[in-house]
A and B are shown apart, each in its own frame.
Chain A
């Protein structure tokens, strides 16, 4: 079993929809949680970063961490065609100092 499991997708939604992307993990010691966005034929880029449990909002994006359930989510409100990409969750153990464990990614398509 992988340490980080991500909903595989692909996911296709109409423009304006609310999107929910999810990951579960097995190691309760993970403390840093990230979401990366990867456009086709590009490298991943950091989208959201949270430490421990709670919510973090940045514009149309909200990252949610529930450590008790070992579950993290990324919500996208008012989704746009430009949000079409692969989304990767990632998490880090405190001593790992920059080395993360990644989910396999969920590919999202937002249709105009």
Chain B
């Protein structure tokens, strides 16, 4: 079974703090994704990566950056957390092939005070 793990289930941070969210997958998938999920807004893609050190902006990259130094690990960084970044953050991975489905981690609920 594909396993995608996220470093924290719940996080509470202060405005202005730098926040790191880590995601690890164990199935040698090329693609990795970061989403945020908010009520009424669905899943919104922040960034994705199709290879080590490669990244592409998704629909809402502002205020976020990412790092992929190893194939299995994809980090999301909030440079200076703000209250409007309070959300559920979901990581996913997939193979690089047409029609491949995504496997999601359990999510991190981030509260920025």
Contacts and interface: CB of A to CB of B under 8 A. Distances in A.
Interface of A: 6, 31-32, 34, 36, 41-46, 49, 51, 88, 90, 92, 94-100, 102-105
A98 B104 CA distance: 13
Given A43-B106, A104-B41, A105-B42, A32 B98 contact: yes
A99 B33 contact: yes
B48 interface: yes
Contacts of B109: 41
B81 to A, nearest CB: 21
11 contacts: A31-B98, A32-B98, A34-B101, A45-B104, A49-B99, A97-B96, A98-B95, A98-B97, A99-B45, A102-B42, A102-B43
Contacts of A49: 99, 101
Contact of A99 (B43, B48, B103, B104): B48
Interface residues of B, number: 28
B94 interface: yes
Contacts of B106: 42-43
A82 B101 CA distance: 23
Given A43-B104, A45-B104, A88 B43 contact: yes
A98 B107 contact: no
Interface in B39-95: 40-43, 45, 48, 50, 90, 92, 94-95
A105 B95 CA distance: 24
B42 A31 contact: no
Contacts of A95: 98
